[in-house]
Amino acid sequence: MLKIAVLVSGGGTNLQALIDAQSSGKIKDGEISLVVSSSEKAYALERAAKAGIPSEVLRRKAFATQREYDGALLSLLERYHIELVVLAGFLTIISENVVSRFPNRIMNVHPSLIPSFCGEGYYGLRVHEEALKRGVKVTGATVHFVNEICDGGPIILQKAVEVQLGDTPQTLQRRVMEQAEWELLPRAVSLFCENRLTVENGRVTIREESF
């Protein structure tokens, strides 16, 4: 079983989707072995505790430099023998030092159809605010590998979600989570753990399931 670390900052709804998928057998050949939170107040820590998953708090402000923080994070991941890192609403910068140690082994879920409404500064409700401001009829979510470019790594899975008349950023955010994020992220994690993802020339190929 591949060991998975999930990095969180807040409520942990995507973490819960992963925990539920693991409990129901939808994540094959992998298990969540560690939850890392950027805040000791994150409700995600309670979700981890209820599921019996070890958790650690690593606050960026506790370290004088990015390099020191990177070293602490890498040491933590090494201690738990982590093979896949999943960013699930993690608001702390993941630097090149960490990315280079986990090439195509760090996964992120973004609440839009990349390349729309992504990049530096696009996170949380702002993504949905901009989508509504632009008047798009369809939005969605993307799961991608993380590289040195913000939201620029190879795309693994995407799913479209309809924008409805009268949507607010909050209602749209909820629909994108329910209809796309909570489905795509466990699926992408399972595909990785099953060794069914190949990255070549910046593109991800998904190998068909063998029977």
What DSSP letter does each residue of 88-107 carry, written as one string? SS--S---HHHHHHSTT-EE
Which contiguous run of DSSP H or E holds residue 123? none
Catalytic member of 81, 110, 128, 144: 110
Residue holding tokens 């020191």?
Answer: 68
81 is a catalytic site residue: no
Measured at the CA of 172, the angle between CA 41 and CA 170, to 5 degrees, comes to: 45
CA 183 – CA 17 distance, rounded (Å): 8
- Signed CA dihedral, 20, 26, 31, 35: sign only: negative
- Signed CA dihedral, 129, 130, 136, 138: sign only: negative
Residues belonging to the active site: 110
